Structure 1
Amino acid sequence: MKNFFEELNDILFLDIETASVESDFETLSERYQEEWLKKEKLIHKSDEAIEPGSLFFEKAGIYAEFGKVLCIGVGYFVFDKDKDELAYRTKTFAGENEYETLQGFTTLLEKKPWVLCAHNGKEFDFPYLSRRILINRIPLPEPLQMAGRKPWEIRHLDTLELWKFGDYKHYTRLELLATVFDIPTSKEGIDGSQVNDVYYNQGGLASIRDYCLRDVLVTARIYLAFRGVPPEIEFEIINLDLEIE
């Protein structure tokens, strides 16, 4: 088990929270409005007519071309083999300026050859981050570079993929896995569907950061469960955001 804990040092658990790039459809440029209306037709599959642009506030945040990264929560384990103690360090990159948020995150990624781990990360978090990083004219950090690499050279872990065991039709929510493994919920106060409203209408970036960090911790605990770590194993949780403040 000690060897496994030492290996954990290289895994960066993460989660992102996103919002629509603007607070409402009308504030988009004419060019952007045209593109969203084309996207909206693909999203709205019902025969019932809708007001053009009416899905923007609800749906735009999940698309990197029409959304932005509000918060990136990260966490990683540190094992002190001399004291035989395991600690979990966590922090957020968040703010009104997406460029600064992404710049801070990419600086962390450049510090070591991290293995990135997220729930549904391969379908959402990793590509979304990569696209927004490039849109902000920031060089893509090495852990997110995929072009020209063989599958086994890409250091990405996905707890959703690990749980599928090859069953690619199966989708399992993070909360369901937390329930199955008796891991405390992260869904206190808000959930992902409320982030846009909380950000634009309630100014609740602080609560979004807290929610994001809870999701990261749940993902980390689920990964430990996948590796057979007994639930009674305890570790100190160190919130680096609080130390900075």
Structure 2
Amino acid sequence: MINKLNLEDILFLDIETVPETPHFSDLDSIKQDLWELKSKYQRADISAEEFYERAGIWAEFGKIVCISVGYFKFQGTLRSFRVTSFSGDEHQILKDFKNLILSHFNQTKHLLCAHNGKEFDFPYIARRMIIHHIELPNKLNLFGKKPWEVPHLDTLELWKFGDYKNYTSLKLLTNVLGIPSPKDDIDGSEVGRVFYDENDLNRIVVYCEKDTIAVAQIFLRLRGDSILDASEIKHI
């Protein structure tokens, strides 16, 4: 049924997250104890301090440093995919992202799309908005919604075809579908280091935008459409 969706009604996105502080020792003692409890079953024999470099994947112990979005525009038979990013201060990132949704993607027909978005991107953004006292936009407020009312698309879910035990990374899926890989520089495990040690936010933005483009490319392939070429991608 995805072939019946209007591409211009979909906002594609990806987020990049890091631990909330550069080091485990920067947390207060209460948060350190809470992290030890939270990570207990994931880290096995690794200490809570060593494992802290992975804290960015939990919204309670991480923060968003970039949200990249992309959307299609058509002029007759000509199409373009426009990509932009919100980065830097998390509170401002969340406010800017919310404003984009409210001003351009707030109608019933509009959908959000990410890879593993239902398990990661969408709930992470919602949780961080609540932590920052930002009222959730309707597209992220799922309280009371029935499954078919949730305005989210997930390329990982689409690729599963009902096989819920299967996980396929964005890098693997782009490879098997013949899409240029977005992972030609850093990967998700290196974002915290690039942010805190190298202070290179622009490098993270570039990486995040490549992932957003990759999500759109996967969606096109799943529809049976031709993928984007470089001339159709516009960074704004």
Match of 2:99 in 1: 107
Aligned to 1:77: 72
Is residue 2:63 matched to residue 1:68? yes
Q: Is the 8 A contact 1:13 1:220 kept in 2?
A: yes
Structure 1 86/156 Cα, relative in aligned 2: closer, same or farther at 3 Å? same
* Letter paired with 1:42: Y
Counterpart Cα distance in 1 of 2:186 and 2:229: 28
Q: Output the amino acid matched with 1:73.
A: S
Deviation at 1:72, TM superposition (A): 0.3
Matched, 1:169 2:161: no
Deviations 1:74-120 (A, max 9, x none): 00001113xx211111100001x110111111100112333000000
5+ residue gaps, structure 2, are none
Q: Is the 8 A contact 1:40 1:53 kept in 2?
A: no
TM-score w.r.t. length of structure 2: 0.93
Q: What is the RMSD computed on CA atoms of the aligned residues? A: 1.7
State the distance in 1 between where 2:8 and 2:149 align.
Answer: 19
SS of equivalent to 1:65: coil
Residue number in structure 2 paired with 1:36: 35
Match of 2:83 in 1: 90
Cα distance in 1, alignment partners of residues 234 and 70 from structure 2: 9
What is the Cα deviation at residue 230 of structure 1?
2.9
Counterparts in 2 of 1:232 and 1:218: CA distance versus 1, 3 Å: closer
Any unmatched runs of 5+ in structure 1? 241-245
- Partner AA of 1:99 in structure 2: H
Determine the C-alpha separation between the residues in 2 that align with 1:232 and 1:158.
Answer: 19
Question: 2:144 is aligned with what amino acid?
Answer: G
Alpha-carbon offset, residue 30 of structure 1: 1.9
SS of residue paired to 2:86 = strand
Structure 1 residues 35 and 238, CA gap change in structure 2 (3 angstroms): same
* 8 Å Cα contact 1:18/1:70 also seen in 2: yes
**Identity among equivalent pairs (%):** 47
AA of the residue aligned to 1:92:
S
Q: Which has the larger radius of gyration?
A: 1
Question: Which of 151, 158, 167 is equivalent to 2:154?
Answer: 158
SS at match of 2:6: helix
Q: How much does 1:32 deviate? A: 1.0
> Following TM superposition, by how much is the alpha carbon of 1:54 offset from its aligned partner in structure 2, in angstroms?
2.2
